[in-house]
Amino acid sequence: MKRKGIILGLIVLAFLLESTLFSHLSFAGIKPNLLIILTSSFGFMRGKKEGLWVGLVCGVFVDVLWGGMLGLQMLIFSVIGYGNGMFRRLFYDDDIKLPLVLIGASELLYGFANYVGFHLLKGDFAFYNYFSHIILPELIYTVLVTLAVYQVVLKINKKLEAEEQRSASRFV
Protein backbone atom coordinates (compact mmCIF):
# COMPACT_ATOMS: atom_id res chain seq x y z
CA MET A 1 0.00 0.00 0.00
CA LYS A 2 2.89 2.33 0.78
CA ARG A 3 4.37 1.66 -2.66
CA LYS A 4 1.14 2.69 -4.37
CA GLY A 5 0.97 5.92 -2.39
CA ILE A 6 4.56 6.81 -3.18
CA ILE A 7 4.11 6.04 -6.87
CA LEU A 8 0.94 8.15 -6.97
CA GLY A 9 2.85 10.96 -5.26
CA LEU A 10 5.63 10.67 -7.86
CA ILE A 11 3.08 10.83 -10.67
CA VAL A 12 1.45 13.93 -9.19
CA LEU A 13 4.87 15.54 -8.63
CA ALA A 14 5.99 14.75 -12.19
CA PHE A 15 2.73 16.09 -13.59
CA LEU A 16 3.03 19.30 -11.57
CA LEU A 17 6.68 19.78 -12.53
CA GLU A 18 5.89 19.14 -16.18
CA SER A 19 3.02 21.59 -16.22
CA THR A 20 4.69 24.35 -14.16
CA LEU A 21 8.48 24.39 -13.90
CA PHE A 22 9.30 22.66 -17.18
CA SER A 23 6.85 24.89 -19.04
CA HIS A 24 9.21 27.73 -18.17
CA LEU A 25 12.27 25.67 -19.13
CA SER A 26 10.88 24.76 -22.54
CA PHE A 27 12.84 25.35 -25.72
CA ALA A 28 10.67 26.46 -28.64
CA GLY A 29 7.61 25.09 -26.87
CA ILE A 30 9.23 21.67 -26.30
CA LYS A 31 9.46 20.27 -22.78
CA PRO A 32 10.58 16.88 -21.47
CA ASN A 33 7.93 14.27 -20.82
CA LEU A 34 8.42 13.28 -17.19
CA LEU A 35 5.36 11.03 -17.22
CA ILE A 36 6.89 8.91 -20.00
CA ILE A 37 10.05 8.60 -17.92
CA LEU A 38 8.04 7.40 -14.91
CA THR A 39 5.84 5.02 -16.90
CA SER A 40 8.76 3.46 -18.72
CA SER A 41 10.92 3.24 -15.61
CA PHE A 42 8.35 1.49 -13.48
CA GLY A 43 7.52 -0.76 -16.42
CA PHE A 44 11.00 -2.22 -16.84
CA MET A 45 11.84 -2.06 -13.12
CA ARG A 46 8.69 -3.74 -11.83
CA GLY A 47 7.13 -5.55 -14.78
CA LYS A 48 4.14 -5.43 -17.10
CA LYS A 49 1.42 -5.12 -14.49
CA GLU A 50 2.90 -2.16 -12.62
CA GLY A 51 3.94 -0.50 -15.88
CA LEU A 52 0.37 -0.82 -17.12
CA TRP A 53 -1.10 0.71 -13.97
CA VAL A 54 1.40 3.55 -13.77
CA GLY A 55 0.74 4.27 -17.44
CA LEU A 56 -3.00 4.18 -16.87
CA VAL A 57 -2.81 6.71 -14.03
CA CYS A 58 -0.43 8.97 -15.97
CA GLY A 59 -2.71 8.80 -18.99
CA VAL A 60 -5.77 9.69 -16.91
CA PHE A 61 -3.95 12.74 -15.55
CA VAL A 62 -3.02 13.89 -19.04
CA ASP A 63 -6.47 13.17 -20.50
CA VAL A 64 -8.47 14.83 -17.77
CA LEU A 65 -6.27 17.82 -16.99
CA TRP A 66 -4.76 18.70 -20.37
CA GLY A 67 -7.72 17.78 -22.53
CA GLY A 68 -7.74 16.36 -26.01
CA MET A 69 -9.44 13.10 -26.85
CA LEU A 70 -10.55 11.45 -23.65
CA GLY A 71 -8.92 8.03 -23.38
CA LEU A 72 -6.27 8.35 -26.07
CA GLN A 73 -3.45 9.36 -23.72
CA MET A 74 -4.57 6.70 -21.24
CA LEU A 75 -4.28 4.06 -23.96
CA ILE A 76 -0.90 5.31 -25.17
CA PHE A 77 0.63 5.46 -21.69
CA SER A 78 -0.80 2.04 -20.75
CA VAL A 79 0.67 0.42 -23.85
CA ILE A 80 4.03 2.07 -23.19
CA GLY A 81 4.07 0.89 -19.56
CA TYR A 82 3.05 -2.65 -20.47
CA GLY A 83 5.55 -2.79 -23.34
CA ASN A 84 8.40 -1.66 -21.11
CA GLY A 85 7.39 -4.29 -18.58
CA MET A 86 8.38 -6.95 -21.11
CA PHE A 87 12.02 -5.92 -20.64
CA ARG A 88 12.08 -6.57 -16.89
CA ARG A 89 14.31 -9.62 -17.25
CA LEU A 90 16.91 -7.58 -19.14
CA PHE A 91 16.95 -4.79 -16.56
CA TYR A 92 19.99 -4.34 -14.31
CA ASP A 93 20.24 -1.50 -11.81
CA ASP A 94 23.75 -0.43 -12.73
CA ASP A 95 23.25 -0.32 -16.52
CA ILE A 96 21.89 3.00 -17.84
CA LYS A 97 21.90 2.02 -21.54
CA LEU A 98 18.71 -0.07 -21.49
CA PRO A 99 16.66 2.58 -19.65
CA LEU A 100 17.85 5.31 -22.03
CA VAL A 101 17.01 3.23 -25.10
CA LEU A 102 13.61 2.17 -23.75
CA ILE A 103 12.64 5.66 -22.63
CA GLY A 104 13.78 7.06 -25.99
CA ALA A 105 11.77 4.42 -27.86
CA SER A 106 8.76 5.12 -25.62
CA GLU A 107 9.00 8.84 -26.34
CA LEU A 108 9.22 8.10 -30.06
CA LEU A 109 6.14 5.86 -29.87
CA TYR A 110 4.33 8.51 -27.83
CA GLY A 111 5.11 11.22 -30.38
CA PHE A 112 4.06 9.04 -33.30
CA ALA A 113 0.81 7.99 -31.58
CA ASN A 114 0.01 11.62 -30.82
CA TYR A 115 0.65 12.54 -34.43
CA VAL A 116 -1.72 9.83 -35.62
CA GLY A 117 -4.38 10.61 -33.01
CA PHE A 118 -4.36 14.38 -33.16
CA HIS A 119 -3.04 15.32 -36.61
CA LEU A 120 -3.25 12.52 -39.16
CA LEU A 121 -6.88 11.72 -38.39
CA LYS A 122 -7.71 15.41 -38.92
CA GLY A 123 -6.09 15.42 -42.36
CA ASP A 124 -2.71 16.92 -41.45
CA PHE A 125 -0.22 14.88 -43.52
CA ALA A 126 2.90 16.93 -42.70
CA PHE A 127 4.64 14.15 -40.78
CA TYR A 128 8.17 15.28 -41.57
CA ASN A 129 7.43 18.75 -40.22
CA TYR A 130 5.84 17.32 -37.04
CA PHE A 131 8.71 14.85 -36.62
CA SER A 132 11.47 17.43 -37.04
CA HIS A 133 9.85 20.19 -34.96
CA ILE A 134 8.03 18.26 -32.22
CA ILE A 135 8.95 14.57 -31.91
CA LEU A 136 12.72 14.72 -32.35
CA PRO A 137 13.40 17.75 -30.08
CA GLU A 138 11.11 16.34 -27.37
CA LEU A 139 12.87 12.97 -27.69
CA ILE A 140 16.30 14.56 -27.21
CA TYR A 141 15.14 16.75 -24.32
CA THR A 142 13.42 13.82 -22.58
CA VAL A 143 16.48 11.57 -22.91
CA LEU A 144 18.72 14.30 -21.47
CA VAL A 145 16.39 14.84 -18.51
CA THR A 146 16.21 11.06 -18.06
CA LEU A 147 19.87 11.01 -17.03
CA ALA A 148 18.95 12.88 -13.82
CA VAL A 149 15.35 11.83 -13.17
CA TYR A 150 16.00 8.12 -13.69
CA GLN A 151 18.58 8.07 -10.88
CA VAL A 152 16.00 9.46 -8.44
CA VAL A 153 13.34 6.95 -9.54
CA LEU A 154 15.87 4.11 -9.27
CA LYS A 155 16.82 5.10 -5.70
CA ILE A 156 13.18 5.32 -4.66
CA ASN A 157 12.46 1.91 -6.20
CA LYS A 158 15.48 0.33 -4.46
CA LYS A 159 14.40 1.78 -1.13
CA LEU A 160 10.85 0.49 -1.56
CA GLU A 161 12.06 -2.98 -2.58
CA ALA A 162 14.41 -3.16 0.42
CA GLU A 163 11.58 -2.17 2.74
CA GLU A 164 9.25 -4.75 1.16
CA GLN A 165 11.89 -7.46 1.62
CA ARG A 166 12.39 -6.50 5.28
CA SER A 167 8.66 -6.60 5.97
CA ALA A 168 8.30 -9.92 4.13
CA SER A 169 11.12 -11.46 6.16
CA ARG A 170 9.31 -10.57 9.40
CA PHE A 171 6.38 -12.78 8.45
CA VAL A 172 8.48 -15.82 7.52
The contacts of residue 64 (CB under 8 Å, 6+ apart) are 70
* Chain length of the chain: 172
Rounded Cα–Cα distance for residues 111 and 127 (Å)? 11
**Domains of the chain, residue spans:** 2-164
- pLDDT tens over the chain, length 172 residues: 889 999 999 999 999 999 999 888 888 888 999 999 999 999 999 999 999 999 999 999 999 988 777 899 999 999 999 999 999 999 888 889 999 999 999 999 999 999 999 889 888 899 999 999 999 999 999 999 999 999 999 999 999 999 988 887 776 6
Q: Please give the pLDDT value at position 93.
A: 85
Q: Say if residues 42 and 51 touch (Cβ distance below 8 Å).
A: yes
pTM above 0.85, yes or no: yes
How many Cα atoms are found within 13 Å in the side-chain-facing hemisphere of 94?
0
Looking at domain 2-164, its CATH class is mainly alpha
Distance CA 94, CA 1 (A): 27
Q: Is the dihedral of CA 97, 100, 103, 106 positive or negative?
A: negative
Residue 69's pLDDT is what?
77
Rounded Cα distance, 79 and 106, in Å: 10
* Cα–Cα distance measured from residue 44 to residue 23, given in angstroms and rounded to the nearest whole number: 28
The most distant pair of C-alpha atoms in the chain lies apart, rounded to whole Å, by 61
Using DSSP's 3-state secondary structure scheme, residue 32 falls into coil
- 31 within 8 A of 22, measured Cβ to Cβ: yes
Whole-number pLDDT of residue 27:
81
Residue 29: what pLDDT?
82
